[in-house]
Every structure is written in C-alpha cells, then in structure tokens.
Structure 1
Amino acid sequence: MRYADGPTVEVDVHVDAPPAVVWPLVSDVTTPVRFSEELHEVRWIDARRFVGRSSHPAAGTWETTCTVVAREPERLFEWVVGDPAHPSASWRFTLTPAGPGTRLRQWMRMGPAPSGLTPAIEAHPDKEERIVARRLAEHRANMQRTVEGIRQLAEERAAGA
C-alpha cells in the first residue's frame, strides 16, 4: 500500500434514528471534534470552506483548509483538504436509510497531493507501506469513534423526540 495509490479507509455503523436526525450531526463540521483524538477545533471561513486544527504526537499541531465539495441533505456530506482540484485528502459521510434507522458510513482517501505524511515517507521510503498502514489505522480508530459518537447522539435525540 503506497501513498500514490490513494489508499482509503471506511467505517460504518447502524443508527437507530432516521437520516433526518443523523444529518444535522454529520453536516456540522464541529461534531467530529467531540470524538477524535486528533482533531481539536474547526471553524468556518465562509459558506463552503472551514479550517481544522489538529495535533499528533509525531507531527505536532497543524491547520488545514477544507472545502465542502458535495452536500446532499440527509444523504451525503463530503469535503477535501487543501486544493479542491488536487487535495491531500478527501473525506465523506454517507447516510443510507435502513428500515426506520440509518446506515452511517465515514470514508476517507489519502492524496493525491502531498500531505503531512509526505515528509515521513520521503525520510524513510523503505518504510512507506508501514507508515501508510499505521496512518490508515489511526484514521480508522478516530473515524470509528466519530461514527459511534454520532450514533449515540442521534439515538438520544430520536428517543427524546
């Protein structure tokens, strides 16, 4: 698995709440801050762009500018990191009706543009596959915490409705 291949990771969870209840949580870019060990702050710049501030023990603290590239209420919320024409990462939430509930998926792809991972790969090209695999595992863990957190919030809201 090499960075240039655009590796991806996806997690999903069944939510006992309809898409109308889940949607406000996934389309609020600040929601993942509540669950991620890496993402610490998000603020909107304008109607389509936001800045995320993250930190990692091996990389320090950094900010990225993200652009919302798809927004289909109760179905899809997608954004890219960096240049929308050549992003360093792409992220997506997908909501699919599942009976009275929702199947919530979060997906991300690395690249194709360089990212914070690029210096580590350039410094240790012989370890690229391990570096990429470890980063994907970190993303998977944070993403799983996020969809589980959204599930809990949505189900609490649905129960209180």
Structure 2
Amino acid sequence: MEWTGARYADTPTVEVRAWVDAPPDRVWEIVSDFSLMPGMSDELQSVHWLDGAAGPAVGARFVGRSRHEALGEWETTSHVVECECPRVLTWAVEDPSRPAAVWRFRLEDKDGGTDLSEWMQLGPGRSGLSFAIDGMPDKEQKIVFVRMREFERNMTATLGHIKKLAEER
C-alpha cells in the first residue's frame, strides 16, 4: 500500500470497497444505523447521538466509545459533515475544522446492486495516536503504517458485515 514512509502530518488515507447484492436504499439503512456499528467492529464499543438527534443529518453529533489493546479506551465526539441519502455519509472526529480523523461511506448504484466504499483520513488534528508518536517520535512512520493497516483490516470486516446484513434482508 502507499503508507510506507507516511507521517501523521501527511493525513494518510485508506479506502476499502465491496459490491453488495442489494439496492443502495437497503444498504443505506444499515450504513446510517450507527447502533449497528459496534457489532461490526472490534474497536468501537458504543455510539450514542447527542442533542436529541436520532440519526445522521448534517450537523448532528454523536459520541463513540472505543477500545484498543495498545491504545486503551477513549471517547470521541463526531460531527456529521455530509449526509446525502442514499449516496454519502461523512463525519469528522472531534473538531470538524481540524479533525482527528474523517470517515466516509459512499454508495453507488452499480450492476443491480451497490458499490459500497468506506474511506478514512487520519488527522490533521491530534488524536490518541499523536500521544504514541510523541512518546516515540523516531517510530512515527511505523506507528502510522501499523495503524493504517489496522484501519484497513477493520474497515474490510465492517463492509463484510454490512454486505451480509443487506443481502439477508
């Protein structure tokens, strides 16, 4: 992959794709139901909406609680910055003007089903990974590389879960 040599300040990205044998509307029902996401992730433990929101809409906020063996447990507040049913859903982690990460699901009607992608960008704002890098600055590139591979693996698993759920309905 293209992460070799990447530094946090490079805002590295990763994207995974899957074709789902279901229409975008059905896939959207799953992608936009954040209560399902903890069951699809080893890292994400829970999600709850803030300010009375019941689901994604531009400006809606939610808290995600996560756990990682090497990084510990943490909680972040994310902001939905793009929501176009049933095409794209994007959220920024922490400060939307300088996020710790940006996540996006994109859905495209293709070949009688849905081309589904999940994309994420690390940084430019500080995150838990920043603290690991602060402690071992000489290992920054390795830390970023390993974390991006973890994201890729977890995102691939998430898309597999979404595909299974959408095709079973």
Give yes or no for TM over 0.5.
Answer: yes
Q: State which of 106, 123, 129 in structure 2 corresponds to 1:117.
A: 129
SS for the counterpart of 2:149 is helix
Give every structure 1 segment of 4 or more consecutive aligned residues whose post-TM-superposition deviation is greater than 6 Å: none
Does residue 88 of the first structure (1) align with residue 104 of the second (2)?
A: no
Q: Which residue of 2 aligns with 1:40?
A: 45
Q: Which letter does structure 1 place at the counterpart of 2:26?
A: V
Q: Which residue of 2 aligns with 1:31?
A: 36
| Deviation (angstroms), 1:79 | 0.3
| Deviation (angstroms), 1:123 | 1.1
Q: 1:32 and 1:58 mapped to 2: Cα distance?
A: 21
Q: 2:67 and 2:36 mapped to 1: Cα distance?
A: 17
Unmatched 5+ stretches in structure 2: 1-5, 54-59
Q: State which of 8, 20, 23 in structure 2 corresponds to 1:18.
A: 23
Q: Which letter does structure 2 place at the counterpart of 1:42?
A: V
Deviations 1:58-80 (A, max 9, x none): 11111000000000001000001
| Deviation (angstroms), 1:31 | 2.2
Q: 2:158 and 2:107 mapped to 1: Cα distance?
A: 14
Deviations 1:94-149 (A, max 9, x none): 00111210000000000000100001111111111100010001111111111110
Does residue 8 of the first structure (1) align with residue 13 of the second (2)?
A: yes
SS for the counterpart of 1:30 is helix
Percentage identity across paired residues of the two chains: 52
Does residue 101 of the first structure (1) align with residue 113 of the second (2)?
A: yes
Question: TM-score, length-normalised on structure 2?
Answer: 0.91
